[in-house]
Amino acid sequence: MSRTLDPEFRRALTARIRYYNEMGIYDFYRRPLSVRGGEIAAAIAVDDAPIAGSTTQSESRPVAIPGDENIFDLIALKPEQRVSDPAQALKIIREDLGDCTRCVLHKQGRKQIVFGVGNAKADLMFVGEGPGADEDAQGEPFVGRAGQLLNNMIKAMGITREQVYIANIVKCRPPGNRTPEREECATCSPFLMRQIAVVKPKVIVALGAVAAKTLLAMNASMAQLRGRFYDFRPAGVRSSDLNWDGCKLAVTYHPAFLLRDPRQKGEAWKDLQMVMGELGLKAPTKSSD
């Protein structure tokens, strides 16, 4: 159960965690201490490292806090959260990703990591499945045939590719364009979550079932997933902007699917119109094309 922390306790806790952050420590874990009044108390397991300027012994002990599900999300800063410029913050996430070898895709023929592209302050973000051959060659998402169609979809919404942010669930090309495995998605998606928390879009459009199911952490058909908005918050990370409380997420068909079955373009257009309504976008008139 989530509870509001005593403000003084929160201040002290925040100062303590900032101190660890400054030393380059970002990962904390909680361990249950005891059950009090039906609630599990937790300890911040940063153990007994001495605190600069601390005088009392109790300050250097694990601290018991009431069970508050979000306290670490709220106050444990990721490295990118130390900068205010979102473009810079995205660069920090990219550097953190490095020459990634976290999943098997790194040894299955990828040429390069395809991180993401576009406006770091975009209101609208598109998330696809994973790079194909063209994206792998150029290092940018959606630059092949599916990308051309995505560009047309974006243009039909009355905006440009440069105004939006585009990324994928996995950042390395799966061999032969196979569907990424669940474990590959799970390994890679924390970086996408951090990108989302930096960009703070108003709306995310999940392109296809892999993106939709991974972002929403649910297993359903495209027919079940489309046609409505979901409230979305990036898992495991808070935006440094505490005023940003997540965004809306809509699901539509992947452009590669639409290339194979163009009859579904009308359905995709309905999804995009729903998004346009949310963002106050108007389709360009013929004369403004």
Our finding on whether 274 is near ligand URA (CB under 6 A) is no
How near is the Cβ of 141 to ligand URA at its closest, in Å? 3
Our finding on whether 76 is near ligand URA (CB under 6 A) is no
How near is the Cβ of 144 to ligand URA at its closest, in Å? 6
- 172 backbone dihedrals φ, ψ, rounded to 5°: -120, 145
SS3 label, residue 31: strand
How far apart are the C-alpha atoms of 29 and 139, rounded to whole Å? Answer: 35
Residue 183 amino acid letter: E
Using the rule CB under 6 A, which residue among 65, 117, 124, 146 binds ligand URA? 146
Our finding on whether 130 is near ligand URA (CB under 6 A) is yes
How far apart are the C-alpha atoms of 215 and 46, rounded to whole Å? Answer: 31
How near is the Cβ of 180 to ligand URA at its closest, in Å? 9
How far apart are the C-alpha atoms of 52 and 69, rounded to whole Å? Answer: 28
Which of 45/259 has CB closer to ligand URA? 259
Which of 132/234 has CB closer to ligand URA? 132
For residues 284 and 238, the answer to whether their CB atoms sit within 8 Å is no
46: Cβ–Cβ under 8 A, 6 or more apart, which residues? 16, 17, 20, 25, 28, 62
Our finding on whether 168 is near ligand URA (CB under 6 A) is yes
Our finding on whether 128 is near ligand URA (CB under 6 A) is yes
The dihedral through the CA atoms of 252, 211, 82, 42 has a sign that is: positive
Using the rule CB under 6 A, which residue among 68, 80, 123, 129 binds ligand URA? 129
Using the rule CB under 6 A, which residue among 222, 256, 272, 274 binds ligand URA? 256
Give the interface segment with ligand URA, choosing from 64-72, 95-103, 125-133, 225-233 (CB under 6 A). Answer: 125-133
| Pairing mode of beta strands 165-168, 230-232 | unpaired
Which of 71/210 has CB closer to ligand URA? 210
- 195 backbone dihedrals φ, ψ, rounded to 5°: -60, -40
Binding site for ligand URA (CB under 6 A): 128-132, 135, 141-142, 146-147, 168, 256
